[in-house]
Structure 1
Amino acid sequence: MIQTLASFSIEKPQILLSALAIFPAALFVFLKFKRIQKAISSQAEGDKSARQLRIFLILRTLFRCLAWISAVFALSEISFGSKKIPVHKSGSNVFFVFDISYSMLANDAPQNLSRLDAVKIYASSLLDQLDSSSFSAVLAKGDGFLAIPETEDKNAMLNLIENLSPHLMTSGGSSLGRGIEAALSAIPPHSAKSQYLFVFTDCDETDNQLEKSLEKTAKFGVPVSIVGFGSENEIEITAGDGKTRVKTALRAEKIKKIIEDTKKSNSTSIFKNSNCLYIDSKSAGSAWQLLNQVKGSSGEEDRALSYEVQNVNRHSFFIFWAIIFMILSFVSAERFSTRKIKKGSGKKKLAASATLSLMIFLTSCSSEKKQILSGVWAWYEGKYTSATANFLKLAEKSQEDSLAHQYAVFDLSATYLSMGENEAAFDRLASLNPDDQALPQEFRSAAYYNTGIIFARKNDYKNAAENFKKAILADSRNLNAKINLELCERELVQKQANSAQAQMQSVNEEKQQNPDMNNEIFDLIRQQEGKKWRNMSDSSEKKEDVLDY
């Protein structure tokens, strides 16, 4: 993908090479015009006809070239402009961006601590309160460096916090912007988690990159909280060379001004609605402000909708102009044909009418169907964020009992399933009613099938098999459901066999642990056989006595 401007991108630039086809096409038209011109030059009105033909061919060629270029632009998926789309987020990841420049060694924090020591205490306490989030750590000095990728290991984070020092990086200066950009580059492109940036700093930057970085966070829809440490009264410290004495202070007003200037310079509402703020670490409730972003009022992770700023795909825009230019090429041909060539005009009118009807048909699709098709197309291309946005919009604005709402919820669950969010997919499928006979049989079968896939991923093959059976009953043509049903039944049989084998193994182990058991069994058999022979001898004696009598 090529990105030149902040709001301009080309998803498939290789398709732009197809636009070069207009040159051989123009050459072909030129040679054709020369041949026709020679053929009509012998006529009385040859010059006039040649001029009209030349105008006709130029106009038709021009319009068709523009139609071809518009179609190429549409297929290359050119995007420009920005819009906010809703994105369903599950879970959260917090980036801790630590400023470890030498100015953080100034001892003007409360209790005569250095700013960096105050950061260690503050960040460690904050980390203890984030129980259900993952974490990442970025070091910012003259450059930005991802020290710890996304993890849930608090011990790794605490170990890094305890050892924060300017000596961890060799680059000089202080660049908060580069630290923020390092955090943004570490965010996965289709992450289902909400991302948060906590920047711990004295706000004393040296390269003035913060403003540009904040604009990028607004584009990604990532909230940034800048936590200031130190005193606003200047204090002298030793620079990184160990000799130079420099003055440093908490530049809180500078950071606030950068935030305000960025909001004013951005004419759109993208940044104005983003959550970027400055927090003084010494103010009461500062930690609660940070925690409140990650956690809801109930103390649980926020699973509500969030918004991301994305470029607007102009596929429909270029398709529209391709159709318009093609119609104009037919109109120009029709105008010429009505003057000189009456024969065949009906066919050209029919072609123009057919093209116009096609345009009306393409533009008359309902917005619900168009949104479903857009989401499905994005799903097939692997753009799960865009697909989720389309399905969420349709699910929110459509009626719950409508077929469009059912399809939107189902497609949303399929998108979550492709992203590995099994719980979110199961919640969406649970809200459907596949037992409703009014729904299409393919839809009901697919809902049962996806539910079975979720159970199979959890190794719950019994429930998975039940859902695959329902999928087959709903639509007997569902071959995948039949295959997966057989696989689940095999797994169940294998489990039973493994269970029986485990029981036999336990019996054998018990025999090995009790070697006298075999002797006891043989003694018992001998006793039983002895009793049997005695009974037989007694009965024979009785029979002989009867015969003697």
Structure 2
Amino acid sequence: MNAYFESPGVLVLAFAAIPAAVYVIIRFRRVREQLFSAGQRGWQGSRVTEAISIRTVFFTLSWMLVCTAAAGPRWGTRLEPVREQGAAVVFVLDVSRSMTAEDLPGNRLEFAVQYASRLAGELSGIPCALVVFKGTAQLLIPLTTDRRSLQDGFRAASPGMISAPGSVPAGAISTAVKAFPPSLAVSRYIVLLSDGEQTQGSLVEAASGLHAGGITLLAAGVGTVSGAEINAYAGSGNVKIHQSRLDSVLLEDAVRAAGGESRYVLAANPGSAVEILERITSGMGGTKNTVYASRTVKRYPIFLAGAIMAFCAALVAGGVSWKRS
């Protein structure tokens, strides 16, 4: 649990009340001893001491609670709507074996890397991250404005960087969501570059929760409908020819499930990158977007309420003892 004080220095004042209270109680007892001689001591002196002690304890507690409230205690989180401008982007890059199909210049992966690299180059000043996936997903580059590290990540992308076989775009979406800090109060985008092949999980199901989390899915289909042949067991010495085709239907279904301003584009189409850029930068002008950010909850009202209760208890409990005396 993330717990902290906004102004922890104020707590010094709270603890200062403890020796002050002890001094008052001890000092009063000494005064009582001086006022009541041995022959005059009785229950009245004890009751007066009791009243002073009770009031001192409760007043001290009240003061400590007020100081704690002033220190600005925070713990726990909740989602709050925030009007902000700006953006953060997580690129999700498919590096599965099917991305080696050569139905695009070079192959699908090379095309996707160049496509993402150009997009990132146009998103100057916008924090970007990179998630790669195959049989598992991995956050390769956390959110950063350092374009050099991001471009290095793109260049390093290959099927060999992840040993697990298969393709799990659903897991990649979950990893991308976690790449956004909970307190990030800007528009959040996931740019998915994939041919749509999946062997595990449900991309549509993973995408269905994005809109509620304030995340927009921008999916770019990499490949062609006719597809190309690949060796599913490349590098293992075995041969299994597989006809790999772009699954636009799955990607479009995922975009519909994500809702909101999510979009699907065919990466090979001219102008598709511009469409993605315009969508990301549209909220960065004069208009502000409503996004949901996780905020630490201010807890000072609890301590103020406790301080008032302790103050009232000092008046009531101490007053009763005083009247008895």
TM-score (norm 1): 0.38
Q: Map of 1:25-64 to 2, 5 A cutoff?
A: none
Deviation at 1:141, TM superposition (A): 0.9
Residue aligning to 2:42: none
Residue aligning to 1:282: 268
Counterpart secondary structure, 1:98 = strand
Q: Is the 8 A contact 2:185 2:292 kept in 1?
A: no
Residue aligning to 1:106: 101
Deviation at 1:206, TM superposition (A): 1.4
Residue aligning to 2:156: 163
Decide whether aligned partners of structure 1 residues 138 and 186 sit closer, same or farther in structure 2, where only a CA change above 3 A counts: same
Q: 1:305 aligns with which of 289, 308, 316?
A: 289
- Partner Cα separation in structure 2 for residue 135 and residue 307 of structure 1: 18
Residue aligning to 1:459: none
- Partner Cα separation in structure 2 for residue 127 and residue 192 of structure 1: 20
Q: Map of 1:502-541 to 2, 5 A cutoff?
A: none
Deviation at 1:277, TM superposition (A): 2.1
TM-score (norm 2): 0.62
Q: Map of 1:143-222 to 2, 5 A cutoff?
A: 143-222=136-215
Deviation at 1:194, TM superposition (A): 2.1
Give the helix-richer structure, 1 or 2: 1
Residue by residue, what CA displacement relative to the aligned partner does 1:340-367 show, whole Å, maximum 9, x if unpaired?
A: xxxxxxxxxxxxxxxxxxxxxxxxxxxx
Counterpart secondary structure, 1:207 = coil
Q: Is the 8 A contact 1:89 1:306 kept in 2?
A: yes
Stretches (4+) displaced over 6 A: none
Deviates more, 1:185-194 or 1:173-182: 185-194
Structure 1: 5+ residue stretches without partners: 2-76, 263-270, 311-374, 383-549
Decide whether aligned partners of structure 1 residues 381 and 176 sit closer, same or farther in structure 2, where only a CA change above 3 A counts: farther
Q: Which amino acid aligns with 2:244?
A: T
Deviation at 1:256, TM superposition (A): 2.0
Q: Which has the higher contact order (CA 8 A, sep 6+)?
A: 2
Residue by residue, what CA displacement relative to the aligned partner does 1:279-333 show, whole Å, maximum 9, x if unpaired?
A: 1012232111111122138xx55760224499xxxxxxxxxxxxxxxxxxxxxxx
Q: Is the 8 A contact 2:93 2:194 kept in 1?
A: yes
Root-mean-square deviation (Å)? 2.7
Q: Map of 1:324-339 to 2, 5 A cutoff?
A: none
Deviation at 1:182, TM superposition (A): 0.3
Counterpart secondary structure, 2:282 = coil
Identical counterparts, % of pairs: 25
Give the strand-richer structure, 1 or 2: 2
Q: Is the 8 A contact 1:94 1:197 kept in 2?
A: yes
Q: Is the 8 A contact 2:167 2:200 kept in 1?
A: yes
Q: Is the 8 A contact 1:104 1:202 kept in 2?
A: yes
Counterpart secondary structure, 2:210 = helix
Q: Is the 8 A contact 1:296 1:302 kept in 2?
A: no
Structure 2: 5+ residue stretches without partners: 2-75, 301-325
Residue aligning to 2:124: 131
Deviation at 1:173, TM superposition (A): 0.4
- Partner Cα separation in structure 2 for residue 221 and residue 239 of structure 1: 37
Counterpart secondary structure, 1:232 = coil
Q: Which amino acid aligns with 1:288?
A: V
Deviation at 1:157, TM superposition (A): 0.9
Residue aligning to 1:380: 298
Q: Is the 8 A contact 1:294 1:302 kept in 2?
A: no
Residue aligning to 2:243: 247
Decide whether aligned partners of structure 1 residues 253 and 212 sit closer, same or farther in structure 2, where only a CA change above 3 A counts: closer
